[in-house]
Amino acid sequence: MDGNKPHILIVDDEVGPRESLRLILSPHYNVHVADGGNQAVEMLQQFPVDLVTLDLKMPGMTGINVLARVKQHDPDIEAIIITGYGSLDTAVEGLRLDAFDYIAKPFDVQQILSLVERGLERRRTRIRLKNVRSDFISNVSHELRTPLSVVVGFVHLLLNQVLGKLTQDQQKVLQTVYRNSEELLELIDNILWLTTLNSGDGADIIDEFDVRTVIQEGILRREAVIRDKKLTLDTELPDSAVVISSDRLKLERIFQNIFNNAVKFTDQGSIRVTVRAGTDGRGVDVEVADTGVGIATSKLASVVEPFQQVQGAVMRACAGLGLGLTVAYRITQMLGGSLYIESQVGRGTTVKLKLPARSKDAKSGEETTRQYG
């Protein structure tokens, strides 16, 4: 197959239309054929499909279900619906699922070639715009992070009175500056993490380390805020080292985001952090439970989607774009772990992280299970 040519997947249970399309498209594209929905879904895993031509009236898995699976696999894959007169209403339903267009049987050769090329051009445009947006966000975030890091560093020196004594009022002002600068730095870091994850550049760096150290360092960073809010912090860490083979930097970001959320959305009561060795003796289980505002069951699924923050007076009072749990969940996926969220409005939230040990030659992107309840 020509690596420079787009990949087209033809899905049709009828041999005649399927072979006609294959003969028309093969001189111009890498063409794959499937005689049903299940085979089509399997082929999505085997080939870098750019566009699908799809017959809606098929036995077994319906064309609409196949289209939904295609968009779930990659929302930028374009789809052209092949339809007869009797399935026109269903074709319109396919357009609602973001199919590019539909064409009626029997189709004209030039018509189908033109339609496929226009569909591929829309895919190229979408990807190009996404890359431009991602590069812009990444570059701007980097440019913001450097001077902000300097600000945070100097304010830290002032607060520790390295450059001279401070009055009580000066300390209060600088503490406010420091706290808000830290939150802004966290936001920028999460944007950078998200753009890295979306671009697929976040390769794992596997090493052995003690998870307790990661947890203790993460807690220490929010110690002043916990003290100011007069929250009770309970930690349950094993007496002996919990050594895991994984990506330390990624685990730091996961815990930091989970713990920061607990601190941010808890104004009174307590936060409990529990660390246990995994049941297999190699992984680790981390649990962060708070008595904060909580999340309604109907909103739990959305909190791991980017730029989603549950609405409400208390939530709106807390700064942020709602990226913390999104980044934590995505990184957990990369490390082959699972993230469970349990919550109740007015009672608090518990986040349970299960992370397996990874061998140094392990690949990222393993399957994980998400559960809300």
Give 340-361 pLDDT, tens digit per residue.
Answer: 889 888 889 999 999 987 765 5
Residue 25 domain-assigned?
yes
The answer to whether residue 248 is domain-embedded is yes
- Using an 8 Å Cβ cutoff, are 123 and 76 in contact? yes
**Cis peptide bond N-terminal to 59, omega within 30:** no
Report the SS3 class of residue 32. Answer: strand
Query: The domain containing residue 187 runs over which residues?
Result: 132-199
| Residue 225 and residue 364 in one domain | yes
Tell me, yes or no, whether 273 and 327 share the same domain.
yes
Q: Do 215 and 171 reside in the same domain of the chain? A: no
- Residue 264 near residue 328 (C-beta atoms within 8 A): no
Total number of domains in the chain: 3
In a domain, 253, yes or no: yes
Cα 179 off chain centre by: 27
Given 168, 199, 230, which residue is the final one in a domain?
199
Same domain, 85 and 160: no
Residue 40 pLDDT > 70: yes
pLDDT tens, residue by residue, 57-115: 788 887 788 888 888 888 888 988 887 654 555 656 666 667 888 787 777 888 889 98
* Distance separating alpha carbons of residues 330 and 191, to the nearest angstrom: 13
User: Whole-model pTM?
Assistant: 0.56
194 and 223 share one domain? no
Mark whether 280 and 324 lie in a shared domain.
yes
Q: Give residue-wise pLDDT tens across range 185-203.
A: 777 777 777 777 766 666 6
Does residue 161 belong to any structural domain of this protein? yes
Distance of alpha carbon 101 from alpha carbon 129, whole angstroms:
21
Residue 216 sits in the same domain as residue 343:
yes
User: How much is the mean pLDDT over the chain?
Assistant: 80
Amino acid at 116: V
Last residue of a domain, one of 157, 178, 199: 199
Verify that 27 and 97 share a domain, yes or no.
yes
